[in-house]
Amino acid sequence: MGAMALNRRHFTLTVMAGVPTALLASSIQRLLVLGDSLSAEYGLSRGSGWVALLEQRLAAENRGWQVVNASISGETTAGGKSRLGALLKAHQPAVVVIELGGNDALRGLSLDSTRQNLQAMISASQQSGARVLLLGMQVPPNYGPDYSRQFSDMFAQLAQKNQVRRVPFFLQGLTEGAEIHQWFQADRIHPNAQAQPRLLDNVWPELKKLL
């Protein structure tokens, strides 16, 4: 019969002829994305965000991964920390992608609290047996050069301390140059549909090392 592919949102399973379904199911690994509006398809058509594109890429390469997108628009590191324990228990992911921190800065929350929350999420993920990818963020220069530097450095420091993979800047290539407006929605904060493949390309080089 060849192969039959079943594709649903947050779920990809390839059933090969002659292979017991139970065996295939046991080989499926889960990838959990814990993020904010940048990963939750804010202002986008369903299925067009970078996480959905990641799911499609994994399916096309027959890598045997189930993607769980637990991102929520407006999420802070405190919110992510409070939800992560239940998510780890429910999904038992092999890889956790943490894309949080931007809303903390926008709300003027304590940098120390943001660092502590990110550390708690990294530790909880590692203790569950998951490999971690941290997506670094940057804030506009109007926050002040010291704060901007400390915020960016925080992700590098956490990655080094915990020996986890890191994407230096999740929005790399979208926030520079005269054509910056072409990558963002009208609010100039959230990347548009055209930018989503570039976001995936920013994440992929580090993520594939964990798969």
Cβ(94)–Cβ(131) under 8 Å?
yes
Catalytic residue among 26, 45, 146, 187: 187
Q: Which of 36, 37, 91, 128 is an active site residue?
A: 37
Structure token pair of residue 114: 């943001």
Clarify whether 190 is annotated catalytic. Answer: yes
Single out the catalytic residue among 36, 104, 128, 190. 190
Active-site residue, 128 included: no
Alpha-helix residue ranges (DSSP H) falling in the chain: 21-27, 50-60, 77-91, 102-106, 111-127, 145-162, 196-207
Cross-strand pairs, 99: 35
- In contact, 25 and 19? CB cutoff 8 Å: no
187 catalytic per annotation: yes
Distance CA 169, CA 55 (A): 21
Which residues are identified as catalytic? 37, 187, 190
